[in-house]
Amino acid sequence: MPTINLGKFLVNRLKELGLDTIFGVPGDYNMPFLDVIEDDPELKWGNNANELNASYAADGYARVRGIGAVVTTFGVGELSACNGIAGSFSEMVPVVHIVGTPNTKSQASGALLHHTLGNGNFRVFQQMFAEITVANTQLSIANSTLHAIREIDRCLTECMLRRRPVYIGFPIDLMSAEVDVSESDLQPLQIQRPKNPENTQASCLKFVLQEIERAKKPIIIVDACAIRNEVQADVERLMDKTGFPTYVAPMGKGAVHEAKSNYRGCYAGTVSLEQVAEEVHQADLILEIGSLQSDFNTGGFSYNLDKEKIIAFHTSLTSVFHATFEGVGMNEFLPLVIDNLPKSLTETDWKDLPPPAHTQSIQPEDAPVITHNYLWNKLSDYLEPRSIIVSETGTAEFGVFNLRAPHDCKYISQVLWGSIGYSVGGATGAAAADRSRRVYLFVGDGSFQMTAQEVSSMLHTGLTPVIFLLNNNGYTIEKLIHGKHRDYNNYQMWKYADTFKYMGAELEINTKNARQSVVGYQGKVNTREEFEKAMEQVKQQSNKIHFIEVIMPQFDAPRELLLQVATSENR
């Protein structure tokens, strides 16, 4: 029987799944596993400033690369990551949370160790995480060494299939244990999605095709779960083959190539641009792909589309009007629909549609001050194709709804979970996930303060995002919701533009393998002219990290946020 080092086995599996960076923070219960990571020439260590940020980074990374991982230490470390992991659960992002736990002997004897609750219960944190993960385990070789191997494979399989986080407790003494494996355990992990039920699917297909053929004014709305299930290529084929007007919900932004002629904009009920809402409400058939109808994704539940018109493609079911076809998941079903579309689709009644609403740029008021209206309109002059746009919960998240971005951009925002501070860690992960893409981070001053130290990790690991610090002097989204002039919505202002300097961009670095970012623009812009000048430098220096503190009027917000607030007055 062959043997393998258990830490090495887990690391190999993570690499098989596509990981090249693992995030986290060292702790005295996880360091032997960090040795394995550091010794692997194909892996990089995220070097995060704290565990919450590390979990955000793993989430941002997973959104770009299909999976992410974070390593924490028992108790103190893992609980700090708890909000990040819950966010990944809520937003359906596959993240592997590996927790270094005390050695198996101490656990068995209930020793009164540091990082415990002092009650000898070593399972309590795992139990807490059971609520926000789709699989959890504590590795053990007490009965069989194969058990640990099988548990790792089970958790990773669940993570990949269900697109949600899993928890692997890894006792410190097992990290370098040599364990027996069978030959087949050393083969790459085979992850197979369960097949859709054949007859149900056939019946559903017939129904769907018939309705598509019959429709006069069909449209497509693409949402969050299209991205989570990675069906963007299918969506593109569907758009091309049908020519149907296509929309995204806010969380579906990025699932569709916006340059396509039949892309028509972002639909979010009363928070939509007027023309978008009008078009959507005229439709007689709506192909809804991966819909997730949360408050912020539907204009505060003003989505209001008639179920009689909706064919909804979900992760593991399809509904046609009021009929549900259980088990008919989109990954297998969408291609089937596309392949079987009638050769010549009935001519639809969508004729002479005006140019899409979002392409009609709104003329910003003529003033030197940088308003949201100006900012989100102007940005499209600068963004490159294949950019990754990370927008913080708050003003930025809503500004992005109608942003005109070039081909193949990716949008990252926590529209459902909405944890402020997420974007700084998320951008770190996204930037690490694909260094060939430019990352634009839009974060408000309040959110930035939550997780600011992560800029330090960006600098240390040579990442080069463009950071826009939208400084509007307080928690603007909160002020718009409640307590506009309250003290609790204000706090200490910082010299944000000095962030790189403060976090040592010019100091020597103390690790062998780090590659420090080269700093480009760092400063504060008060006017449109200053902003545009800064952006010219940003555009030219694509291999540098930039920090632009954008001074904005207090209480100014994107139109979409103001509309959203109006819908949720009574939440």
- Of 451, 471, 476, 522, the residue at the interface with a second copy (CB under 8 A) is 451
532 is catalytic: no
278 is catalytic: no
472 is catalytic: yes
For the chain, how far is it from start to end, CA to CA, in angstroms? 61
The CA–CA distances, whole Å, from 151 to 64, 138, 177 equal 26, 8, 15
Q: Among 529, 570, 527, 568, which residue's Cα sits nearest to residue 550?
A: 527
Closest approach, Cβ 132 to a second copy, in A, equals: 7
Contacts of 383 (CB under 8 A, 6+ apart): 389, 405, 406, 409, 440
Only segment of 238-246, 309-317, 328-336, 492-500 that touches a second copy (CB under 8 A): 492-500
Q: Which of 12, 46, 53, 115 is catalytic?
A: 115
Only segment of 75-83, 227-235, 325-333, 351-359 that touches a second copy (CB under 8 A): 75-83
Applying the rule CB under 8 A, the residues between 403 and 422 that interact with a second copy are 415-421
Applying the rule CB under 8 A, the residues between 159 and 178 that interact with a second copy are 172
**Could you say whether residue 293 binds a second copy (CB under 8 A)?**
yes
Nearer to a second copy, 490 or 537 (CB): 490
Residues 327 and 196: beta-carbon distance below 8 Å: yes
- Owner of token pair 């009027």: 553
Residues 64 and 18: beta-carbon distance below 8 Å: no
Site string for a second copy, 501-540 (x = CB under 8 A): xxxx--xxxxxxxx--------------------------
Closest approach, Cβ 165 to a second copy, in A, equals: 11
84 is catalytic: no
Contacts of 340 (CB under 8 A, 6+ apart): 205, 209
Applying the rule CB under 8 A, the residues between 308 and 347 that interact with a second copy are none
Applying the rule CB under 8 A, the residues between 22 and 51 that interact with a second copy are 26-28, 31-32, 34-35, 37-38, 45, 47, 49-50
What tokens appear for 496 in the block? 């944000």
Only segment of 21-29, 177-185, 276-284, 307-315 that touches a second copy (CB under 8 A): 21-29
Q: Among 419, 387, 392, which residue's Cα sits nearest to residue 406?
A: 387
Q: Which residues pair with 21 in a beta bridge?
A: 44
The Cα–Cα gap between 337 and 346 comes to 16
Is 426 annotated to bind ligand?
A: no
153 is catalytic: no
Nearer to a second copy, 310 or 450 (CB): 450
Q: Which of 418, 429, 444, 462 is catalytic?
A: 418
Only segment of 191-199, 242-250, 375-383, 484-492 that touches a second copy (CB under 8 A): 484-492
Instruction: Characterize 300-321 residue by residue with b for buried, 16 or more Cβ atoms within 10 angstroms of its Cβ, and e for exposed.
Output: bebbebeeebbbbbbbebbbbe
Q: Strand ranges (DSSP E) for 345-433?
A: 388-391, 410-412
51 is catalytic: yes
Contacts of 47 (CB under 8 A, 6+ apart): 457, 460, 461, 511, 514
Q: Binding site for Mg(2+), residues?
A: 445, 472, 474
Catalytic residues: 28, 51, 114-115, 418, 445, 472, 474, 478
